[in-house]
Amino acid sequence: MGNYSIHYQKIQVNGLSIFYREAGDATKPTLLLLHGYPTSSHMFRNLIPILSKDHHIIAPDLPGFGFSDAPDRQQFSYTFDQLAKMMQSFIDQLEIKRFAVYVFDYGAPVGFRLAMNNPEKITGIISQNGNAYAEGLSHAWDPIQRYWNEPTEANRITLRDFVSKETTWFQYHQGVSDPTLIAPETYTLDQQFLDRPDNIEIQLDLVKDYKTNIVLYPRFHEYFRKYQPKTLLVWGNKDPYFLPQGAEAYQKDLPNARLIFYNTGHFALETHVTEIGTEILTFMTTLPE
């Protein structure tokens, strides 16, 4: 496999077609990149070429996102447990024995479930605005928390704007000092997928289930304390959803974690991919085999 080319592939996992990007030499250390909402592995398009010179990179699209299957919600339960199970089967099928994991947004609760269930496989963790502490949740979560506490149809309906093109645009631009760095194909592609028939209901199912991640936070912390995985925190400090306090909180359980703030928003790779890529390359050299 050519080291510098990205290969776009699909694999059948538990009856679903899962799309993934792969680059680099498979004999080199593996890094699994897990995207968040409302995006896909497309968010890593600029990062992969930086990292794949020295590493084997795999970036899947979660079910319901990007170019992976988005089965009907009657056939597939859109929960974070289910997404993690799918990713477990994905790494098992690709026979990935040891890997570092990059988590962002929704990728964090998926990746941390994987880490807890496979501590022997994890060489390190990179969290880019991937939250695991209550301190990290901003007031933008208030209407969502209301829906968790009272899962009424009325509270669900108020969240429909969450998948609107205005919100997607906002997610990319809020907190960014130079908006000319935001490629329009990012939010346009994300919106294209969000606008698929019935996708709103799929996304609202996941929003509802996000509550299970908060419940698991203490278990994530226990995993951090017990295994002390090498950790790099690269965080956009103007993220409207996940506050800088959420990044700092990791250091309670992982005192050796390296933390760097970037003056940007949620999608830090859109504005700071070179800086973040450089940090990751340095970090990867410190990891166990």
Per-residue pLDDT, 289: 86
Domain tally, the chain: 1
Q: Print the domain residue range for 170.
A: 7-284
Q: Is residue 289 part of a domain?
A: no
pLDDT of residue 56: 98
The segments of the chain whose pLDDT lies below 50 read: 1-2
Backbone phi, psi, residue 122, to 5°: -85, 120
173 is catalytic: no
Query: Between vectors from CA 44 to CA 201 and to CA 176, what angle results, nearest 5°?
Result: 80
**Cα gap 236→62, rounded to integer Å:** 23
The predicted model scores a pTM of 0.98
* DSSP symbols for 211-226: HHHHHHHHHHHHHHHH
Phi, psi of 73 (to 5 degrees): -70, -10
Whether the bond between 38 and the residue before it is cis, its omega within 30 degrees of 0, is yes
Within a domain: 62:
yes
pLDDT score, position 120: 97
What is the per-residue pLDDT for 228? Answer: 98
Is 1 inside a domain boundary? no
In a domain, 258, yes or no: yes
Q: What pLDDT shows up at residue 3?
A: 56
In a domain, 262, yes or no: yes
Number of H helices and E strands in the chain, helices first, is: 11, 8
At residue 1, the pLDDT reads: 44
CA atoms within 13 A on the CB side of 22: 19
Residue 2 in any domain: the answer is: no
- CA neighbours closer than 13 Å in the CB half-sphere of residue 133: 19
What pLDDT shows up at residue 4?
Answer: 73
Among 35, 42, 56, 266, the one annotated catalytic: 266
Where residue 92 sits, what CATH number does that domain have? 3.40.50.1820
What is d(CA 81, CA 201) in angstroms, rounded to the nearest whole number? 18
Does residue 171 sit within a domain?
yes
The reported pLDDT for the residue numbered 148 is 97
The SS3 assignment for 272 reads helix
Task: Give the count of alpha carbons within 13 A of 242, CB side only.
Answer: 29
